[in-house]
């Protein structure tokens, strides 16, 4: 196996509800190698997105440890995790999460500008070219179709050159044909940039394009199948 970039050890997540403690994730351990693409599948409510959030350092587990590269993100503060995310992580969301008041170009360049990258604009144009939106740079999200919006989101995620890209149901809001195109684009870019991809999806076909499929149900890791 290649060098590990993301590792979880005995991770559990419990939440307190009014009358009981609810276990969303139960003792999950996994290891993802650099440049690997991994799909996390499972039924609704299985804990997929919770696991994604924990792995990305957006949330902290109730038990267990998570390492991102050399950093144990479970042993650091939110500010520390933010700094690690800034260096290593990119996201693609089911709802695209584009800022409505910014153009396609500005949406893509914003995270790079926030991290102080000097060539943000040039890289944003380059990646919008790669996703086929060279003619739509100055369009606002509401002037774009769902597929186009997700392409902008992909350009935004990859332009930052993240080491790990977390994608949460990236085709969930799209029709089948558009979903196919977006997943093609996602995997193309993933290969070009050698980014590690962690993907949460319901769609078996999308999951099958990944090198590994992790199945979870009821908060427990049921299987990991490597292709």
Partner 1 sequence: MNLIDIKLLWRDWKGGQLNLVVSALVLAVMVVTAVSLFADRVERGLNQQITSFLASDLTVRGGIEIGDDYRAKAAELNLQTADLALFRSMVFAGDNNHLASVKAVSTAYPLRGQMELSDDLEAGNVTKRSNGPASGEAWVEARLFNLLDIKIGDSIEVGYLNLIVTHLIVNEPDRGTGFGAAGARVMISIDDLPASQLVRPGSRIGYRFLMSGDEASIEQYQDWFQQREDALSNSSEIKHFRLLTPDNAEQQLADAMQRGRAFLLLSGTIGVLLAGIAMALASQRYASRLTDQVALMKAWGQSANAIRRSQFLRLFIIAAVSTLIGMLFGWLAHYTLLEVAKGVFEVELPLPGSRPWIVATITGFVCVLGFALPALWHLPTIAPLRVLRRDLPDSLLGQGRRLLIGIVSLLLLTYWYSESIVTSLLFLAAIFALFAVCAIIALQFLKLVQSFGSWRGSFVRLGLANLWRRRGQTLVQLVGFSTTLMLLLVVTGLRTNLIAEWQAQLPADTPSHFLYNVADREVDAVKQLLAESDVTTTPWFPMVRGRLVSINGEAITRERMAQSDGLSREVNFTQTVDLPVSNEIVNGKWWTEAPESFEFSIEEEVASEIGVTVGDEIEFSIGGINFSATLASIRSVDWQSMNPNFYVVFYPGALDRYAPNWVTAVRAANTYGVENTKEVNRGALAKQAPFVNKMIKQYPTTVVLELGDVIARIRDVIDRVTQGLELILFLVLICGALVLFAAIGVSYDERLRENAILRTLGSSKKIILGALTIEFATLGAIAGLIASAGAEIILFFVQRNIFDMATQWHPNLWLLGLLSGVILITVLGLLRSRDIITVPPLQSLREID
**Footprint of partner 1 (CB under 8 A):** 49, 52-53, 56, 58-59, 78-79, 82-87, 89, 91, 93, 95, 97, 99-102, 106, 110-111, 113-115, 142, 160, 168
Is 216 in contact with 47 (CB distance < 8 Å)? yes
Toward partner 1, which CB reaches closer, 114 or 134?
Answer: 114
Nearer to partner 1, 111 or 179 (CB): 111
Instruction: Let me know if 20 is exposed, middle or buried by CB neighbors in 10 A (0-12, 13-18, 19+).
Output: exposed
Q: Which is nearer to partner 1, 35 or 96 (CB)?
A: 96
Phi then psi for residue 77, to 5 deg, are -80, 175
**Residue 82 or residue 134: which is nearer to partner 1 going by CB?**
82
- Nearest distance, CB of residue 226 and partner 1, angstroms: 26
Structure tokens at 137: 């740079």
- Name the minimum Å distance from CB 4 to partner 1: 21
* 78 or 208: CB nearest partner 1: 78
Q: Closer CB to partner 1, residue 32 or residue 88?
A: 88
The minimum distance between CB 192 and partner 1, in angstroms, equals 21
How near is the Cβ of 81 to partner 1 at its closest, in Å? 8
d(CA 103, CA 9): 41
Shortest separation between residue 151's beta carbon and partner 1, angstroms: 17
Unique residue bearing structure tokens 């992909």: 154
For residue 3, which of 28, 26, 36, 29 has the smallest C-alpha distance?
Answer: 36
Distances (CA, A) of 73 to 22, 47, 199: 23, 20, 20
Cβ at position 73, least distance to partner 1 in Å: 12
d(CA 140, CA 102): 6
Angle at 10 between CA 8 and CA 14, to 5 degrees: 105
Q: 189: which 2 tokens?
A: 């870019």
């Amino acid at each position: 196996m290649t060098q590990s970039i993301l590792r979880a050890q005995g991770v559990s997540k419990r939440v307190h509800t009014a009358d009981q403690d609810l276990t969303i994730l139960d003792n999950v351990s996994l290891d993802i190698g650099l440049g690997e693409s991994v799909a996390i599948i499972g039924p609704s409510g299985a804990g997929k997105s919770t696991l994604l959030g924990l792995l990305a350092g957006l949330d902290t587990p109730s038990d267990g440890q998570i390492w991102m590269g050399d950093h144990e993100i479970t042993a650091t503060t939110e500010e520390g995790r933010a700094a690690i995310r800034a260096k290593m992580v990119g996201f693609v969301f089911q709802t695209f999460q584009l800022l409505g008041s910014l153009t396609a170009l500005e949406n893509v360049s914003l995270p790079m500008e926030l991290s102080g990258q000097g060539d943000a604009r040039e890289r944003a144009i380059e990646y919008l070219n790669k996703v086929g939106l060279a003619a739509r740079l100055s369009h606002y999200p509401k002037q774009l179709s769902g597929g186009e919006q997700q392409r902008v989101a992909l350009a935004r995620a990859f332009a930052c050159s993240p080491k790990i890209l977390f994608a949460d149901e990236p085709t969930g809001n799209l029709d089948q044909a558009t979903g196919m195109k977006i997943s093609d684009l996602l995997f193309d870019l993933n290969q070009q940039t050698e980014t590690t991809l962690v993907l949460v999806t319901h769609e078996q076909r999308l999951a099958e394009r990944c090198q590994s499929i992790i199945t979870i149900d009821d908060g427990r890791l049921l299987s990991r199948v490597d292709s």
